[in-house]
Structure 1
Amino acid sequence: MSKTKSKKIKAFAPATVANVACGFDVLGFAIHGLGDYVTASFSDEPGLRITSINGDEGRLPKEAEKNTAGLAVLSLLEKVDEAKKTGIELQIEKKMPLGSGLGSSAASSAAAVVAVNELLGNPFTTNELLPFAVQGELAASGTAHADNVAAALIGGFILVKTHNPPDVISLNTPEKLHCTVIHPGIEIQTKNSRKILRKQVSLEKAVTQWGNLGSLVAGLYTNDYDLIGRSLHDEIIEPVRAVLIPGFSEMQQAALDHGALGCSISGSGPSLFALSTSQEQAEEIGKAMGVVLQSIGLEYDLHISKINTAGASIV
């Protein structure tokens, strides 16, 4: 095997918080400390193969067409003529829990397309990789939505104008923002949490939600933390999904009582996120939310992070 054939590229993509309360399927941001690694290398055997998956407890499929990372890479390879007959192998390292509401599938998809793009000599820009990474979400949730995967790929806060084709806008990230994420020791599958959502909402609730979304974007751009806090309210999705998360209302109230700007469900849950303006405050919020879960006998993981503005990268 030649030197080129023996080359290996390893990429990392971070965990993400999607929806951000009032922005169902259109808002997301990336965090530090959690994420997935994907290593891409050439193979003498044509086609795409996933040779190993670590950290998934044997639950994820290795068939490329059924795997989020595999599906994303397959869509990329279709657009590169010289790569269609090339053999490529992927090794996936899951460094975050499955079904946590932190964009596990999106991190794998984003890391995979970044690694393979580098392996092929970077035929695409980061933004051009987004449609391929979005295709990976089909394997996870049955819908190609871009809120998690765009945040994982690009970093920072993102707004999804359209999903098909993905049209994504990077938003301003206020410097002081810190995120507390608490992950109760239960699992919620995105496909299942989408099934319980109502197909129709009242005009009154929709108007309130539009106002919150618009004012949240305004708060991000003007670094107005009070406005951000007044905007982090979900009229439509949170009331439905909250019933799936033990202690949700108590955790949310504990976060607000300890200075959180706002607190809601991360993605489809069961993780909750809270935003605040300092590391110390974020830690106090996490402790208070943890007390609630301890009182009902649930174990949990806690993560404190500033907003990750880097996104996916080559290791």
Structure 2
Amino acid sequence: MNEIIIKCPATVANLVCGFDVLGMALEEPYDIMEVSLLDEPVIRITSKDGFPLPSDPALNTAGAPLLAMQEELGRPVGFGLVIHKKIKPGSGVGSSAASAAGAVVAANHLLGNIFSKEDMVRFAMFGEKVASGVKHADNIAPCIYGGITLIRSIFPLDIISIPAPLLHVTVVHPQIEVRTSDARQILRKEVLLKDAIRQWGNIAGLVAGFMKNDYELIGRSLEDVIIEPVRSMLIPGFDQVKSQCKEAGALGGGISGSGPSIFMLSKDRHTAAAVEQVMKTIYDQIGLDYHTYVTTINHEGVKILSPHALL
């Protein structure tokens, strides 16, 4: 096999209180990538959707991971990538991670699955460094592993898959861009001990809530006293969305990654649809364009599709 088509899921990083350590894969939206082996050791990248993606692989979130993979292979091999990007860059739902994770999963498959999932996360983090200036795995890990993941450490890598009850996810993407690198720069470099203690309790409570299928504990733990108070100022209507969606029955939620997307978790699809309507009403009143998604957790991660998927 010299060419495959893959589906790369969007992801929600942080899950409110778990900055850089928790992430979740979504069923929608997703990118489609066509990846092929080349006879010469080069990386050729083509975008099919008009987004200005760098053609230099070292500057591309899909290309940089493949360069790292090439270096470790130690033998000449090249890759061609055609990216159908449906996850808008700067949206806060893992656009760069989808490109990075999709590229390494596809390349690994074409090479005969010689690398582990942990290896692929390690390669894909080079793409996140291109996007944000630092390596982090809270989008990459769920994109590759599927479901909800805990990144206990990235040096060395220590990734744990977290079981969770059925959850419906509503996402609103206000049509503004918040660059991850910019959103990191505004964060405080030091935090109060009392805030750190509260945050640790929420992270532990959220993980316990997922594992115990305890919806009420999940809802109580979706609180961020460190990152959200700063980043939410970049997102018009954030406070309204969060409070009114909870009034509509959502368990809770917050900023997806670095924003501007906002996600909310619900126990059932009916509530998730009601939450979507609240989001639409708020942004209609503000007069800001937006996209919404009502979806669930993707438990597969990057998926290999049939050769006829694009027909």
TM-score normalised by length of structure 1: 0.94
Q: Does 1:23 align with 2:18?
A: yes
Q: Which one of 204, 207, 218 corresponds to residue 208 of structure 2? A: 218
Residue 198 of structure 1: aligned partner: 188
- Give the equivalent residue in structure 1 for 2:128: 137
Matched, 1:272 2:262: yes
- Does the 8 Å CA contact 1:106/1:136 hold for their aligned counterparts? yes
Q: How many residues align?
A: 305
Counterpart amino acid of 1:188? V
Q: For residue 55 of structure 2, what is the aligned residue in structure 1? A: 62
Q: Could you tell me how far 1:289 is from its partner in structure 2?
A: 1.5
The answer for the alignment partner of 1:257 in structure 2 is: 247
Measured in 2, the distance between the counterparts of 1:231 and 1:141 equals 27
Find the counterpart in structure 1 of residue 304 from structure 2. Answer: 314
| Counterpart position of 1:116 | 107
Cα pair 2:15 2:254 within 8 Å, conserved? yes
2:29 maps to which residue?
34
SS of the residue corresponding to residue 78 of structure 1 reads: helix
Deviates more, 1:163-172 or 1:15-24: 163-172
Look up the equivalent residue of 2:243 and give its one-letter code.
Q
2:44 matches 1:53: no
How much does 1:70 deviate? Answer: 0.5
Deviation at 1:98, TM superposition (A): 1.2
Match of residue 71 from structure 2: 78
Check if 1:161 corresponds to 2:152. Answer: yes
| Partner residue, 1:8 | 3
Show the counterpart of 2:308: none
Q: Which stretch shifts more, 38-47 or 109-118?
A: 38-47
SS at match of 2:27: strand
**Kept after mapping to 2: 8 A contact 1:131/1:165:** no
1:62, distance to aligned residue in structure 2 (A): 1.0
Match of 1:208 among 193, 198, 202: 198
On the 8 A contact 1:20/1:232 being kept in 2, the answer is: yes
- Are 1:49 and 1:88, in contact at CA under 8 Å, matched by a contact in 2? yes
Distance 1:159 1:183 in 2: 24
Shift of 1:58: 3.9
Unaligned runs of 5+ in 1: none
Aligned partners of 1:183 and 1:302 also within 8 Å: yes
Q: Corresponding residue for 1:91?
A: 82
Please say if 1:242 is aligned against 2:232.
Answer: yes
RMSD between superposed Cα atoms in Å: 1.2
Residue of structure 2 equivalent to 1:286: 276
Q: Deviations over 1:212-241 (max 9, x none)?
A: 000100000000000000000000000000
Which of 271, 286, 289 is matched with 1:299 structurally?
289
How far apart, CA to CA, are the structure 1 residues paired with 2:31 and 2:179? 18
Deviation at 1:73, TM superposition (A): 1.1
SS of residue matched to 2:83: strand
Identical amino acids, percent of aligned pairs = 48
What CA deviation, in whole Å up to 9, does each residue of 1:185-225 have, x standing for no partner?
11110010101000011111110000000010000000000
Offset at 1:151? 0.9
Secondary structure at the aligned position of 1:288 is classed as: helix
Shift of 1:305: 0.9
Contact between 1:37 and 1:108, CA under 8 Å: does it hold in 2? no
Task: Give the letter aligned to residue 101 of structure 1.
Answer: G
**Which residue number corresponds to residue 179 of structure 1?**
169
Q: Deviations over 1:70-92 (max 9, x none)?
A: 011111122223xx312322222
